Amino acid sequence: MNPHARGFFLASGTAPALGADAASTREHSGVRAIGPVSVSVRERTLHPVGPQLEVVLGDIVTESVDAIVNAANPSLLGGGGVDGAVHRAAGPQLLAACRELGGCAFGDAKATRGFNLPARYVIHTVGPVWQGGRAGEARLLANCYRRCLEVADEIGAATIAFPAISTGAYGYPANDATHIAVGTVRGTLSSVQSVRFVCFDAAVHACYEREITT
Ligand code: ADP
């Protein structure tokens, strides 16, 4: 194998993201590498073209994906909307697992198991409270989507479902929130292969449909 071809393999997503040192060592020691270099690091598959995006109407707790995202509050101890539905469906073990996490900052994300949910994991994120748009809400909302994808990579979740973070009790206008959601997911490099935007109402669904077809 020509070690100079590593760039191609990285871009096409079939080579380890780490392990370049092993290949360089072979190159510089004068030993000609004739097969794939064996490395002991975890392999990652990057998807430079981004994940497949889908928009669906429904209840996120029924999604059979690797991870569903919960629109939580900073305490991570439960609430209304998506948060309430996720805790009810996952069962009381979820609350116990959330207590261990010690809360979560706005724009950040943390994972737990999914317990009784069909999804293996829950990624809890805290969206911004809408205050008119001049309090850094857009940056914080984008951070939520980016951090959720980072956490998905950390736990090895390749399929993920998002609710429309902040568009319920936190009051973020759905038009703007869905624009940020789709733009950020498209613009974030990760190993996630499929993203489902799960909407509870037709108006939010229509916003997403507009976004993903433009
Ligand atoms: P936030 O506090 O971040 O605004 P909410 O849970 O109040 O979170 O609402 C976020 C979005 O999730 C809203 O668009 C709301 O209609 C929607 N939603 C509420 N329950 C569910 C559910 N079970 N599945 C999917 N979306 C939901």
| Residue pLDDT, tens place only, 143-179 | 999 999 999 999 999 999 999 999 999 999 999 999 9
Is 66 annotated in the active site?
no
**Cα–Cα distance for residue pair 152/196, rounded to 1 Å:** 14
What six digits make up the tokens of 192? 């996630």
pLDDT(1) > 70: no
Q: Which of 21, 59, 66, 83 is catalytic?
A: 83
Query: What was the pLDDT predicted at 45?
Result: 59
List the chain domain ranges: 31-212
Instruction: Output the six-digit token pair for 190.
Output: 């990760």
Q: State the CATH class of domain 31-212.
A: alpha beta
Residue 46 confidence class, pLDDT cut points 50, 70, 90: low
Q: What is the pLDDT of residues 103-134, one digit of tens each?
A: 999 999 999 999 999 999 999 999 999 999 99
Residue 51 CA to ligand 1 centre (angstroms):
23
Residue 206 has pLDDT above 90, yes or no: yes
Closest C-alpha to ligand 1, atom 16: 200
CA atoms of 110 and 108, how far apart (whole Å): 7
pLDDT at residue 214, rounded to an integer:
80
Q: Is the C-beta atom of 77 inside 6 A of ligand 1?
A: no
* pLDDT over 80 (residue 33): no
Report field, pTM of the whole predicted structure over 0.85: no
Pocket test for ligand 1, best of 125, 129, 200 (most atoms within 8 A of CB): 200
CA nearest to 53, candidates 155, 190, 173, 150: 190
pLDDT at position 93: 98
Ligand 1 centroid – CA 168 distance (Å): 5
Q: For residue 147, is it left (φ>0), alpha (ψ between -120 and 50) or beta?
A: alpha
Contact 98, 77 (CB under 8 A): yes
